[in-house]
Amino acid sequence: MKNLKQLFLILAILFPIGTYINAQYKAKGIIDKTTSKQQETPKTQWFQNAKFGLFIHWGLYSILGGEWNGKRYYGSSEWIMNRAKIPVVEYSKLAQQFNPVKFNAAEWVKIAKEAGMKYIVITAKHHDGFAMFDSKVSDFNIMHTPFHRDPLKELSVACQKNNIKLGFYYSQFLDWHEPNGGGNDWDFVEKNKDYKSYYQSKSIPQIKELLSNYGPLGLIWFDMPGGLSKEETQALIDTARRLQPNCLFSSRVGHGLGDFLDFGDSEVPATVIKEPWEAIFTHNDSWGYLKFDFNFKTPSEIIRLLTNIVSKGGNLMLNVGPKADGTIPEESIKCLLSVGKWLKINGKAIYGTTYGPIAPQPWGVTTLKPDKLFLHVMLRPKNGDLIVPGVNVKVKKVWFLSNMKSLNWKQNQQMLKVKLPLVLPDDANSVIVVEYTGKISDSYIDAPSVISPQFNECNLDVIKAKPTGNTKIEPITYSFYFGVWKHTTCATMMQSPSDSLIYNVEFAEPGDYKIILEYSCPIENSKQEGLLQVGGQKFYFETLSTGNYDVSRPLMFIQQSVAMITVRKAGLQTIKISPVNEGKELFKLRRIIVKPVEYKF
């Protein structure tokens, strides 16, 4: 029963997202919805230009930091009440301890601003039901703590002063504190619950308070829909719109409604998306403060994550989990400020741009403004020749954004070659500006992946391949720690020799290359035979097991080297993968890695 309920919840949140992406992948391999929505709804304009926001998970769970009765709960710390099945009476007592005396709204906003973030979204009420604001609807709120201040009010003042948009996270259905709220089956009996009455008596009135008492809001970040029909959800949105017509609502309001798309937690869709969207990531693994979670991303990782998201047309909202004393973990502050330093220099290539019109290259990705193409160089080709295909406009000038230094370049039809210096200005991402005249088209966005010996390895994500037979290319979600989701896109369902995956690739230079498959394969599917074909050569291999996965065990990947080839002529080539025999799913293939092999004779 418990497992069933878990499954239901997972499906509730993941299915609509998965189906949405799948349908789009099938359509074209790229998500290409009309851009007219942007013109019809210019109220999303600020959001689409903003690119980088700060997410803050802060609540009573921050006091526990993942520890209850001496036990450490690894995973998302804001779920501790659910995980440890803490009774409402016990959990409510935490309110008597909540006193974040070091909280300083101006300081938080200053950090966000210096990080180059344009909006802040903070948890007004998470699933534990505790309101982090002055609520007349329920006493289970921050005014009934020793702190006795409204941090959301203080943040709204600081944000307005600093021209930062403010948004509130509000969990509209789950509420472990309330007999009629979703999710708490350890204090309350599920079948006795009246979700509608919960919406009427707490959820909707609190949303109204948030929209009425904190000045103009950028957005409400709804999470975990449930309990309402499409019509009822629309009615909720209409009510909210009457209070603040310009406030945006996240797609997790449910039923495909909302003003911008959010995918899964920590998910970046595999392709460009042309309508407003946002990826949410947390700085370490947990959303709320977790004492023993030190898996913080480095500034360089954040810069690259942000760049990749922006090159697909989206925003990154990066989360931090402040402690119960009101301070943001030092690791997060240092990282945010470093990213901000990079953005101060390179922000022109991020803010106000649109998705990159050129297929991702081994060196990096692109973003675009009407007269400028930005090359985000994350890896330097060994010979210093940066090759940019698909430049179907007239190039005027090429220079480094960081130091304005002009670069030597040549354009041969649609191929631009830029000569790079020996050392790039920035290890994480050196931005090159290509000034052009004309109108660049994105005809090269789906171009074949380039394999070049100028890079130690070239990644061929499966999204770039064509599935045949029953092969599917689909996003896969799995759990890392409890409540910590990971997402990837894999080729699946390859069960017979006619289910194949075909890559069109372009070898930039002749040479020798090693081909590696990165895949996941449960024990019972392992030891099946697969075949990789390239340039008329056949390479057989047997699959290895990476273990089974489920809601509590992560999907693991292995890299298996299966082929060694000699490419005699630069140009297009196909790589085909298929099962040798009829059987179970061969594997879940995430990508092919091609490594140049250098022989010294």
Q: Which residues bind ligand H79 (CB under 6 A)?
A: 6, 9-10, 13, 57, 76, 78-79, 223-224, 265, 280, 287, 479, 482-483, 551
Q: Are strands 588-597 and 511-520 parallel, antiparallel or unpaired?
A: antiparallel
**Cα 489 to Cα 8, 283, 465, distances in angstroms:** 22, 22, 12
Q: Based on CB atoms, which residue is closest to ligand H79, 167 or 360?
A: 167
Q: Based on CB atoms, which residue is closest to ligand H79, 258 or 448?
A: 258
Q: Based on CB atoms, which residue is closest to ligand H79, 203 or 346?
A: 203
User: Which residue shows structure tokens 């310009």?
Assistant: 246
Output DSSP code: residue 191.
Answer: G
User: Which residue shows structure tokens 């919805």?
Assistant: 33
Backbone angles phi, psi at 537, to 5 degrees: -95, 145
User: Which residue shows structure tokens 């959301």?
Assistant: 152
Assigned token pair, 476: 């896969």
Buried b (16+ CB within 10 A) or exposed e, 144-168: bbebebbbbebbbebbeeeebbbbb
Rounded Cα gap, residues 42 and 339, in angstroms: 28
Q: Based on CB atoms, which residue is closest to ligand H79, 81 or 280?
A: 280
Q: Based on CB atoms, which residue is closest to ligand H79, 10 or 570?
A: 10
Among 330, 241, 269, 324, CA closest to 294: 330
8 A C-beta contact, residue 515 and residue 594: yes
Q: Based on CB atoms, which residue is closest to ligand H79, 223 or 585?
A: 223
Q: Based on CB atoms, which residue is closest to ligand H79, 128 or 499?
A: 128
Range list of β-strands (E), 172-289: 219-223, 248-249, 261-262, 277-282
Residue 90's beta-bridge partner residues? none
Sheet strand arrangement including 430-437: 354-355, 364-369, 372-377, 430-437, 394-400
Closest distance of CB 526 from ligand H79, Å? 27
Rounded Cα gap, residues 324 and 327, in angstroms: 7
Element (H, E) at 389: none
Within 10 angstroms of residue 593's Cβ, the number of other Cβ atoms is 16
What type of residue is 520?
S
Closest distance of CB 221 from ligand H79, Å? 8
What type of residue is 413?
Q
569 SS3 class: coil
Closest distance of CB 288 from ligand H79, Å? 8
Closest distance of CB 315 from ligand H79, Å? 14
**Cα 598 to Cα 51, 454, 535, distances in angstroms:** 41, 11, 20
Q: Based on CB atoms, which residue is closest to ligand H79, 482 or 549?
A: 482
Q: Based on CB atoms, which residue is closest to ligand H79, 9 or 407?
A: 9
Closest distance of CB 177 from ligand H79, Å? 15
Closest distance of CB 2 from ligand H79, Å? 10
Closest distance of CB 293 from ligand H79, Å? 14
8 A C-beta contact, residue 321 and residue 290: yes
Residue 167's beta-bridge partner residues? 121, 219
Q: Based on CB atoms, which residue is closest to ligand H79, 223 or 293?
A: 223
Q: Based on CB atoms, which residue is closest to ligand H79, 81 or 420?
A: 81
Q: Based on CB atoms, which residue is closest to ligand H79, 127 or 380?
A: 127
Closest distance of CB 576 from ligand H79, Å? 37
Rounded Cα gap, residues 189 and 180, in angstroms: 9
Closest distance of CB 479 from ligand H79, Å? 6
Rounded Cα gap, residues 203 and 223, in angstroms: 12
Q: Based on CB atoms, which residue is closest to ligand H79, 13 or 451?
A: 13
Closest distance of CB 79 from ligand H79, Å? 6
Closest distance of CB 551 from ligand H79, Å? 6
Rounded Cα gap, residues 203 and 201, in angstroms: 7
Closest distance of CB 47 from ligand H79, Å? 17
8 A C-beta contact, residue 594 and residue 453: no
Closest distance of CB 247 from ligand H79, Å? 19
